[in-house]
Structure 1
Amino acid sequence: MDIRPIKTEHDYNAAIRRIEELWGARKDSPEGDELDLLVTLVEVYEMKHYPIAPPDPIDAIKFRMEQMGLTNSDMVKYLGSQSRVSEILNKRRKLTLGMIKSLYKGLKIPAEVLLA
């Protein structure tokens, strides 16, 4: 097992190929340990070189609404009046701190997403 840091795209591709070869290796075997290490190295490389931007706060709200089967009327208790809901969902008004707290507590939307 010759494991080194992943520094280049070539190193990254080689690590991915090796992971594919090792996929399904038995846990706590030398191959399983190698797989665990390589997956960790690849995750670190990907976080650094291919970061995923947080979603737009309004898109996150709409996604959660869809997941939970909520309508705009259901959002009144989190955002205020029906007109306020419309303004927020159409990006004509920004979320207030109170709205963010309410969405976080009521719909479990991460605060860091809503603050973006």
Structure 2
Amino acid sequence: MTAAQLLDWTAVVLLLLGALLSFAAGVGLVRFPDLLSRMHTAAKPQIMGLVLILVGIGLRLFPDPRIGVLALVLVFQILTVPIASHIAGRVAYRTGRIRRDLIGVDELEEQMDRRS
């Protein structure tokens, strides 16, 4: 097996694993019962799936200079998705759109009680 074939097979495995994680994120969005659980599954496996997919594409395009674009996509996604999820979660919490019976430890409620 040549080095090019090894890179191709590694890229295929990474692409399939990334697609599987992205599919799991999609299933979680449909199946989980509340907003906070859905946000968790939309952020965590989606980002990991995207990382695997981008690394697989990068291995496939290895000598190509467009790999820098893939790195930019990855950096922007890693920076924006967790922040957006955090902000959406806080808004949902403050507007009462979450199921409080599913929260084990509510640290935000203690902080909000101290402020008011």
So what's the TM-score if we normalise by structure 1? Answer: 0.30
> Which one has the largest radius of gyration?
1
Q: Which has the higher contact order (CA 8 A, sep 6+)?
A: 2
Higher share of residues assigned helix: 2
